[in-house]
Structure 1
């Protein structure tokens, strides 16, 4: 066999192995109650339901009967700033700030039990499971990096998002209805950002990741607000002219109403 033919045979075997991929003993099937949420001016929040099942096959170990499940929901990414205030001469002023780059505007982690009981710390960090392990890139001077979980700015950022219901971690939110059938709710607060949401579902057994899958849903705004937002994006010049005209008309009407004789 020539060297060229041997190389071609090796490449074919490699491509064949890549096409087959690693065998998995479980398959994860999930569905979401609504893939498109419409937000109106009087929207006050809601909840989606994620449900699914873990399907075993002939390769599943016979003694595997208990599973753990972690669901991570990420909203549309955005740049945000966290500021630190100091009191100077009796006045609170901005003393320092930190910019977070393309971080999830909504972030939720749901599990059937505490994460530290599901997998080892290094596994949780590698899989980015939990608010302390999610990558939140910051601009630190001229560098871009994620810092330690107890960094003051990172902690303040997560705390503020949590207070608004936009970041959350719940360790008893996933309910197993049977050993393989599960469900969990995804709360959506009134301030929920508009855009596409990614849902990552991972199944663990004996501390190891055994299978995973993804799904998604979308939150859209309807009504007059959506019309204004779409016009601003698609025809900025017309939007600017109409806004300026409305401001002039408002000022003129105010001068007429409050004009003194």
Structure 2
């Protein structure tokens, strides 16, 4: 038993350490949303550190930055025209779909990764959307149209995007990326994953977070609507009635 322990410790001591270390930082970890908010961007800074025995790789490095927003329960419905009206037909539920999803890379992802790596590690927008756990899989690719519809709708809103030149290397070891956040991006916690690759192999990965937070009057209204939903609904209805009555008085024709 003692001999086995000594051999195990020897193997651990001889195992090679990671040659590269990835260090990342965000320009802001908390974004405040007020009445004048029209969108913003979060800068991602990264540095690649090598140990003393590791020299720079001849092929260089590649970086993929993936930002995911808070999870939402989404339903995509297929509409079909029956006579003069449109009616809902089949539907597909996405229980844990990110409300926001962006993928930024230093080069086209197809050039820096293999198909197997993208599918296994969910690298790239298509790999994430087509992952089996992205929705309730129907089998035989029957949910493909619903996945494409979700991507198309979110892309039109600026909430799902991919930029194959979104990461810029300032030097051979220092890079920068900018995550665009439109005004429609929902509040909540966002995860930012940075993956370092070389020769289609993942060398290192980091995950950090930032938060979108409503502030001021918007935060108070949201808190009342969430915590006092019945009272908020009654107050909204009464306010609408009051404004309607006031408008009828002002614009009354004698």
What is the TM-score of this pair, normalised by structure 1?
Answer: 0.82
1:241 maps to which residue? 231
* Separation of aligned partners in 1, 2:160 and 2:142: 15
Matches within 5 A, 1:18-167: 23-61=17-55, 63-64=57-58, 66-134=60-128, 135=131, 137-139=134-136, 148=141, 151-167=144-160
1:199 maps to which residue? 192
SS of alignment partner, residue 127 of structure 2 = coil
Match of 1:169 among 162, 167, 176: 162
Cα distance, 1:244 vs structure 2: 1.6
Distance 1:148 1:60, change over 3 A: farther
Aligned pair count reads 247
CA RMSD of aligned residues (A): 3.2
Matches within 5 A, 1:4-15: 6=1
* Separation of aligned partners in 2, 1:117 and 1:42: 41
Deviations 1:3-24 (A, max 9, x none): xxx39x75xx58x95xx99721
Gaps of 5+ in 1: 1-5
SS of alignment partner, residue 126 of structure 2 = coil
Cα distance, 1:230 vs structure 2: 1.8
* Separation of aligned partners in 2, 1:21 and 1:84: 54
* Separation of aligned partners in 1, 2:121 and 2:203: 12
* Separation of aligned partners in 2, 1:218 and 1:101: 22
Counterpart contact for 2:224–2:232, Cα < 8 Å: no
Cα distance, 1:130 vs structure 2: 1.0
What is the TM-score of this pair, normalised by structure 2?
Answer: 0.85
* Separation of aligned partners in 2, 1:56 and 1:184: 21
Counterpart contact for 1:133–1:149, Cα < 8 Å: no
Counterpart contact for 1:119–1:208, Cα < 8 Å: yes
Counterpart contact for 2:92–2:143, Cα < 8 Å: no
2:204 maps to which residue? 211
SS of alignment partner, residue 231 of structure 2 = helix
SS of alignment partner, residue 200 of structure 1 = strand
Counterpart contact for 2:44–2:177, Cα < 8 Å: yes
Distance 1:49 1:148, change over 3 A: farther
